[in-house]
Structures are given as structure tokens and as C-alpha cells.
Amino acid sequence: MPRLLIGLAAAAALGLAACGEDTAEQNDYVDEVNGVTSTLNEELARISSEATSIGNPEEAADAFASFSDSLEQAADEIAAIDPPDEVAELHDRLVQEVETLASEATDVVDEIREGGPAAAIGVTTTFIAEATRISSEVDSTLDEINSKLQD
């Protein structure tokens, strides 16, 4: 599980950069989105360090619950940011992708708690595959946002 969280933390590091016309609106947007993802990365680093000491399914469920809460908070904060018009649709897609990842993490919590030790490994493996897919979508959306802001 630590490898997954580190990978997701890296994917969440947006590194958006407003280029091109470099308007104040674009710069504010980039600063706000990067601020949210920096906070998310700090939380993911904390969760990742805790994951190395997980000894039972309840601890695993708690770690995923914390992870889900962090993702939900990040999605809410990103949703509250007013994007420049040229990236509004992409911004909405970014919010949806983070919300989807949070929902997947919540599902893992429920499945681990219902299935106990036998479920923990299988559920975690399935989540890793889904999280990797969603992280790729997030990366793609961020690339598109960067491209639009640099035009």
C-alpha cells in the first residue's frame, strides 16, 4: 500500500504553470489549484508513512477512510476554485476524477470492513488498479489544462 500512496501523491502534484498570455486570472487559478494539491500531497505522505505499520484490516480500513476524506476535501476545494473560462470544462472533469477516486477509496473501506482479513488483500489490489487508471486520467486532464493555459 505505501507504493500506491506515493504514486498517487506524485500524480496529484499538478505543477500547473500559466504561460502564454500569463493573465492574473490564470496565475490565480494555478496558485489555488497547486495550493490544494500541495496540501493533498502532505496528507498523502502522512497516510503513506502510516501504511507501513498497518497490522490488521481495521487499520487498513481506517487508512483508506482517511485517504478518502482527504480526496473528498481536495475535490471540494478544487470545485470551489473559479477557473478561467478556457479551462472550465477541464476543471469540472478534474473535480469529477478526484471525486471518483475518493468514492473508490470509500468503497474499499466498506468492503474491507464487511469482508475482514480475507477481503483486505483482494480489495486493495483492485483499488490499486482502479486508482492507477484514475490517476492517469487526472494526469491527462492536468496536461490539457496546462496546454490550454499556455495557448
pLDDT tens, residue by residue, 3-61: 344 344 444 444 455 455 557 778 788 788 878 877 776 776 666 666 556 668 888 88
Contact 9, 37 (CB under 8 A): no
Place of cell 482479513: 117
Residue 23's pLDDT is 73
Q: Residue 88: how many CB atoms within 10 A of its CB?
A: 12
The 3-state DSSP class for residue 46 equals: helix
Place of cell 477512510: 65
Give Cβ neighbours of residue 135 (< 8 Å, ≥ 6 apart).
Answer: 7, 8, 11, 101
Tens digit of pLDDT for each residue in 88-126? 999 999 999 889 988 988 988 888 888 877 777 777 778
- Residue count of the chain, please give it: 151
Distance CA 103, CA 107 (A): 6
User: How many structural domains is the chain composed of?
Assistant: 1
Domain that holds residue 70: 2-13+20-150
